[in-house]
A = this chain, B = another copy of it.
Amino acid sequence: MTPTQNARPTPPIVSKIARSGTDSVTVFGQDLIGMLGTVNLGDFAYLEIFRRLPDKNESVLFNALVVTLVEHGVTPSAIAARMTYLGAPESIQGAVASGILGLGNTFVGTIEGAARICQQHLPATGLHDLGGAPRLTNDEIEKLATRIVAEHAQKKAPIPGLGHPVHKPVDPRAQRLFELGRELGFDDSPTRLMEALSRLASERCGKTLPVNATGAIGALASTLGVPAEVSRGLGVIARAIGLVGHLIEERRQPISKSIWYRAEDEASADD
């Protein structure tokens, strides 16, 4: 609250995102009507993030990144959404919101961590000079990776985006995304950095630490120029789609009640 006597000065309220007239709607200056039937949902998401439509290659890579994040099966986020749907079936938006809230530091946060490493150490990437990242030599990448692994080892901190319980020795999603970025001719410096980190970290701790899907997405999001702080938004967009899929399955073939009853009965059993 503020003292009632006087109002605080405030800057004007401006948004450049959308404009609407009696027979027109524009989004970031593009005619919405003209985009209906020609622009796919992934490209429109790109427009929302970059304020321009992607070119052909950006479209392919961006759609692939987000598609990778849509579905991961019966995750904590999907269970939360299904539990919420059980209690409030009248409100699909509440169930999806409930699931999205779990996209925090533990899971999607690793995309952000991997993107941050790439964007701190490969300064030319990032929204500002999109695509303008100079290719680093392999020697430069190797030096950089060696330093980063040492720093993390010293802090006993894991390197975000490395390691997977199931996908070994390689995560097929990461492998395909990296391959795609190269086929499409994007600067592969972030990719090579993550690959070098994986190799050096695996050597150092003597177990296989493949670049996982979030690591690859953090690297390629950096290539495309998505700022690290926003990269989490890619996960949110993707999982909102996946959660709707889970709620449709929950309507048809519910599992939330079994999960609940079993957990509750075991949790409250006498010791």
Contact = CB atoms under 8 A, between A and B. Distances in A.
A66 B237 CA distance: 13
Nearest to A226: B248
B94 A230 contact: no
Contact of A44 (B43, B67, B261, B262): B67
A166 interface: yes
Contacts of A13: 74, 255, 258-259, 263, 266-267
B18 A37 contact: no
Interface residues of A, number: 130
- Best-surrounded residue of A40, A72, A170 (most CB of chain B within 10 A): A40
Q: Copy number in this complex?
A: 4
Contacts of A1: 18-20, 25, 72-74, 166, 264, 268
Nearest to A23: B172
Contacts of A102: 83-84, 86-88, 93-94, 98
Nearest to A59: B40
A270 interface: yes
B49 A268 contact: no
A108 B79 contact: no
B173 A15 contact: no
B269 A4 contact: yes
B86 A76 contact: yes
A246 B268 CA distance: 13
Contacts of A257: 10
Interface in A23-52: 23-25, 27, 32-33, 35-37, 39-45, 47-49
Residue among A2, A106, A166, A242 with the most chain B CB within 10 A?
Answer: A2
Interface string A44-73: 110111000000000111011011101111
A88 B93 contact: yes
A92 B10 contact: no
A202 interface: no
A94 B176 CA distance: 31
Interface in A217-270: 229-230, 232-233, 235-238, 240-242, 244-249, 251, 253, 255-270
18 contacts: A1-B18, A2-B165, A4-B19, A4-B20, A15-B74, A15-B249, A36-B64, A40-B40, A41-B42, A41-B70, A48-B71, A49-B245, A74-B267, A75-B264, A76-B87, A76-B256, A93-B236, A100-B240
